[in-house]
Amino acid sequence: MDRAEIVHQNFLARVSAGNLPTAQGGVTLAEAGLDGAALTDLFRAQIGSRQLDRMSRKMQAQGQGFYTIGSSGHEGNAAVAAALRPSDPAFLHYRDGAFQIARATQVPGQTPLWDMLLSFTCSSEDPISGGRHKVLGSKALAIPPQTSTIASHLPKALGTAFSIAQARRSTPEHRQYPKDALAFCSFGDASLNHSTAQGALNAAGWTGYRGLPLPLLFLCEDNGIGISTPTPQGWVAATMSARPGLTYMACNGLDLVQTFATTRKAAQSARGGKPVFLHMSCVRLYGHAGADAQQAYMTPAQIEADEANDPLLHSARRMIDEGLASAEDIVAMYNTVGDEVAALAEQAVQRPRLQSAADVMASLIPPKRVCAPGNGPSPETRARTFGEADTRAMAEPQHMAKLINMGLTDLMLHHREIILAGEDVGRKGGVYGVTQKLQARFGAGRVMDTLLDEQTILGLSIGMAQNGFVPIPEIQFLAYLHNAEDQLRGEAATLPFFSNGQFSNPMVVRIAGLGYQRGFGGHFHNDNSLAVLRDIPGLIVACPSNGHDAVLLLREAVRLAREEQRVVVIVEPIALYMTRDLFAPGDGLWTAPYPAPGEDAIALGQVGVSGDGTDLAIVTYGNGAFLSRQAQRDLAEAHGINARVIDLRWLAPCPEEALLQASRDCARVLIVDECRRTGSQSEALMALFAERSKQPCARLTAEDSFIATGPAYAATLPSREGIVQAALALTGSNA
């Protein structure tokens, strides 16, 4: 027999023989605020979770199930669910099956056993993921789905808690959670050591230490082992019991009553705005998952000691001691639930599954939502917000940084749910002054200086977006994104996908990036790789080359986030922030007046075209567009080559049709890509023209190298002269 069957047989035998663990004691039903019926419901939720775990392994053995990480040993979290409200958003550990079942009893019309079995079998009728993954989750139960939650969900739980407090001051149009809710987040003791967890816990403690409201309850479910690596005895308590800004509480997950009482106390504190770390001791049964041979790293005595502490045996003891059931009643209840799960499983395996790529991809893009029109401010309010100097400056040509600042001001005036967050964006106004004056104009509640932690910045934004806000987080430099890219790849972009479009976290991420900064920072402040963004399904990536386009792209990005619930990243070329001149000092040709709200638009997939030459199409973006415009004049004046420059603007999804249309009457195509030759946009663009066009095509890219500081800052990057030479080579002209 495998360990699941051994635990099953042990439960039946020990209950029948009255051979039950010693009572944990300490808290009575009355002291906890429970009655016999409530305790019975919790015990039934524990049994349901256990029987689902057993069935998941049977289904996998039959080739009908696809997931066996279970909740056995952690069923004490049923009491945690009972101590919270079903409207409290819950970001769950993957061993929280009993939590979801117990919460379902608080909401009429729920069928948790059936729902989870559909998830096990990856049925397209699975009500949370539509058959895309086995995940805990439910829209009706305020449980956003998580996948393999090794701490990556903690930052967004922090953001959701922050959003709940923020919504008490300014309610967003699409608020999801009550103003008196708390955000709940559970994870394992091994996940506690993950840098993402430590960052979120630090941010929560920092917030609490400052006295800012943060209705957040962390639950660490400590079973003493992470797959095969033991957690040192006492480690969790030692590291968390004196954490500044966090209230530490502990409970015994083997005792439903004591766990309920402690959680209720913890929830009261968290709901009042003081973040709490609740440490629940428990055991792990069956090993990590179905394929995990725990006997390879645990002795038989260790395995049997955990099995002897089966939480269902402890709950059975409590039920008998309280006079709520006899041993025979408990065995009957256990078997009845087991029979129900078996009968439902027979039906679940017959339900339809996803069949095609279209089926799988149907939820990559979240559904559109109806938004109230942005009520713009009165002319007087707008003029007062901008101030006399900026109002006057709108009619004068400005560089990109100033135009983005004006664009952000107007957007924040029109949409009260917009929140800016990032390192130094407030008082300092950003490293490059892009967000200057915004905190003075809108207050620290809407323009927030964050910790120097990109995971926290993005997690904060994801959580706020789930509760109706439209965050515009700033990543100070593109290279800094790599510290936190999983928050976009594994969290933000996957939420609609794994929730079948039921949950979303729309936002606009601003990233200062790319190269060509003169003598500053080397590769950490000049990063010319966008590959990490371009291959995230569903993510939109834009890159303006000039200030006028930057404002219009920003407006479209906010529209996409508000109305279409998209996650949009705008990469702003640092080297072009302050650029004014195109051909000669003082010409001012790279500046523009501020486009007033309602003027023009750049829709998703719309490219920009400069010139009407047909000898050559130069396809580029960002700094490449600036340099290509210079090369365009050189080619015409010195070599008689009439070129047009096509500015992609949108890098993902690639605007293929617009690009082909804009270049179709050109004899040749040159791709100028400031990113590295390997993994850059140029690879996909070359493939596009090779597959769908007969035009000769070549590319000029950056070298596969990091960027140096000092005079060699541009040595590895495309140049004006390099573009001219590449064009001459492609057209067969003499240099």
Mean pLDDT of 143-160: 90
Question: Considering only CA atoms, which of 479, 606, 619 is closest in space to residue 540?
Answer: 606
Residues 281, 252 contacting (CB under 8 angstroms): yes
For residues 494 and 505, give the distance between their C-alpha atoms in angstroms, rounded to a whole number: 10
Q: Which CATH code of 1.20.120.450, 2.30.30.90, 3.30.450.20, 3.40.50.970 fits the domain covering 381-576?
A: 3.40.50.970
Residues 112, 102 contacting (CB under 8 angstroms): no
For residues 646 and 49, give the distance between their C-alpha atoms in angstroms, rounded to a whole number: 58
User: Is 472 strand, coil or helix?
Assistant: strand
User: Tell me, what's the pLDDT at 262?
Assistant: 97
User: Tell me, what's the pLDDT at 734?
Assistant: 63
3-state SS record for 170-216 = CCCCCCCCCCCCCEEEEEECCHHHCHHHHHHHHHHHHHHHCCCCCCE
| 244 preceded by a cis bond (ω within 30 of 0) | no
Question: Considering only CA atoms, which of 304, 256, 251, 301 is closest in space to residue 279?
Answer: 251
Residues 582, 629 contacting (CB under 8 angstroms): yes
Mean pLDDT of 522-530: 84
pLDDT tens for 244-269 read: 999 999 999 999 999 999 999 999 99
Mean pLDDT of 17-35: 90
Burial of 409 (0-12, 13-18, 19+ CB in 10 A): buried
Residues designated catalytic = 525
Domain spanning 608-731: CATH 3.40.640.10? no
Q: Please say if the pLDDT value at position 282 is more than 60.
A: yes
- Range from 78-82, 249-253, 302-306, 555-559 carrying the lowest mean pLDDT: 302-306
pLDDT tens for 424-464 read: 999 999 999 999 999 999 999 999 999 999 999 999 999 99
Would residue 507 be called left, alpha or beta, if left means φ above 0 and alpha means ψ between -120 and 50 degrees? beta
Element (H, E) at 391: helix 379-393
Question: Considering only CA atoms, which of 51, 58, 221 is closest in space to residue 151?
Answer: 221
For residues 288 and 3, give the distance between their C-alpha atoms in angstroms, rounded to a whole number: 12
List, in sequence order, the alpha helices (H) in 467-621: 485-486, 495-498, 531-534, 547-564
pLDDT tens for 546-569 read: 999 999 999 999 999 999 999 999
Beta-bridge partner residues of 669:
617, 697
pLDDT tens for 380-414 read: 999 999 999 999 999 999 999 999 999 999 999 99
Burial of 634 (0-12, 13-18, 19+ CB in 10 A): middle
Neighbours of 237 (CB within 10 A): 15
Question: Domain spans of the chain?
Answer: 7-351, 381-576, 608-731
Q: What is the CATH number of domain 7-351?
A: 3.40.50.970
* Helix (H), strand (E) counts: the chain: 26, 19
**Which token pair is 73?**
């040993």
pLDDT interval class at 17 (50, 70, 90) = very high
Output 333 or 24, whichever has higher pLDDT: 333
Q: Please say if the pLDDT value at position 735 is more than 60.
A: no
pLDDT tens for 196-245 read: 999 999 999 999 999 999 999 999 999 999 988 999 999 999 999 999 99
Chain-centre distance of CA 642, in angstroms? 46
Mean pLDDT of 16-26: 87
Question: Considering only CA atoms, which of 409, 406, 435 is closest in space to residue 423?
Answer: 435
User: Is 675 strand, coil or helix?
Assistant: strand
Q: Are domains 7-351 and 381-576 of this chain identical in fold?
A: yes
Output 599 or 505, whichever has higher pLDDT: 505
Question: Considering only CA atoms, which of 523, 551, 554, 539 is closest in space to residue 703?
Answer: 523
Residues 194, 443 contacting (CB under 8 angstroms): no
3-state SS record for 411-456 = HHHHCCCEEEEECCCCCCCCCCCCCCCHHHHHCCCCEEECCCCHHH
Mean pLDDT of 18-41: 92
Question: Considering only CA atoms, which of 174, 603, 172 is closest in space to residue 370?
Answer: 174
User: Tell me, what's the pLDDT at 324?
Assistant: 97
For residues 129 and 498, give the distance between their C-alpha atoms in angstroms, rounded to a whole number: 5
List, in sequence order, the alpha helices (H) in 448-546: 454-466, 485-486, 495-498, 531-534
User: Tell me, what's the pLDDT at 295?
Assistant: 86
pTM: 0.95
pLDDT interval class at 523 (50, 70, 90) = confident
Residues 7, 286 contacting (CB under 8 angstroms): yes
3-state SS record for 632-659 = HHHHHHHHCCCEEEEECCEEECCCHHHH
User: Is 250 strand, coil or helix?
Assistant: strand
Beta-bridge partner residues of 616:
643
User: Tell me, what's the pLDDT at 376?
Assistant: 83
What does pLDDT average to over the chain? 94
Question: Considering only CA atoms, which of 46, 55, 49 is closest in space to residue 121?
Answer: 55
Mean pLDDT of 116-133: 95
Tokens 């966090």 belong to 246
Element (H, E) at 312: helix 311-321
Mean pLDDT of 147-175: 91
Q: Please say if the pLDDT value at position 184 is more than 60.
A: yes
Q: Please say if the pLDDT value at position 149 is more than 90.
A: no
Residues 261, 27 contacting (CB under 8 angstroms): yes
pLDDT tens for 669-716 read: 999 999 999 999 999 999 999 999 999 999 999 999 999 888 888 999
What's the DSSP call for residue 575? G
User: Tell me, what's the pLDDT at 521?
Assistant: 67
Question: Considering only CA atoms, which of 449, 372, 369, 375 is closest in space to residue 410?
Answer: 375
Neighbours of 537 (CB within 10 A): 13
